[in-house]
Amino acid sequence: MIRKLLSITFLLVLPLMSVFAQQKTDYSGTWKLNVAKSDFGPLPGPTSRTDVITHKDPSVSDQVTADGEQGKQEYTVNYSTDGKETANAFGGLAAKSTAKWDANNLVINTKLKFNDTDVDVVATWVLSADGKTITISAHISSSMGEADQKLVLEKQDGAAAAPAAKP
């Protein structure tokens, strides 16, 4: 009898475990750059930056407001986590991006031209276990050389973002 009850319970729980395992990280919220914890590599970084991210998979929209050596910049970029190419503009530079999931992390590949030079950027977004920090690690490569950057963004609007469920 107990064995039969355990079998039934297992059959009921198994589909729920599969649903939770398929959930992806939700990056929605207002995020501020922690300049002290970030590393801009050889490139000048902003003195301040705020990202307002709206994430309803497969759509991710990131409204960025930044200030730094190049002055104030405001732009919105859109990604599709199902691998579809999206067209964006970063500070006036036209770019094409593809985004996909790598486990619970979002990996965004962007191609653009800077001073007639092809530039490739691979950025990986990682949400902390507590949902309060996004770390964006970017590898930038072109014929001019390579550089790495790490941006640390901290959640601003009360509730933590929803990390993906653990299987």
- pLDDT-based confidence at 43, cuts 50/70/90? confident
pTM, to two decimals? 0.81
pLDDT tens-digit series, residues 107-162: 999 999 988 899 999 999 999 999 999 999 999 999 999 999 999 999 997 655 55
pLDDT at position 88 is 93
Q: Which domains does the chain have, with CATH numbers?
A: 24-155 (2.40.128.20)
- For the chain, what is the total number of helices (H) and then of strands (E)? 1, 10
Is the model more confident about 83 or about 19? 83
pLDDT tens-digit series, residues 72-105: 999 999 999 999 999 998 777 899 999 999 999 9
Instruction: Confirm if 78 and 64 have CB atoms less than 8 A apart.
Output: no
Q: Is 156 left (phi over 0), alpha (psi -120 to 50) or beta?
A: alpha
Query: Which DSSP state fits 58?
Result: T
Is the model more confident about 114 or about 3? 114
Q: Are strands 117-127 and 145-155 parallel, antiparallel or unpaired?
A: unpaired
Instruction: List b or e across 118-157, with b for residues whose CB sees 16 or more CB atoms inside 10 angstroms.
Output: ebebebebebeeebbbbbbbbebebeeeeeebebbbebee
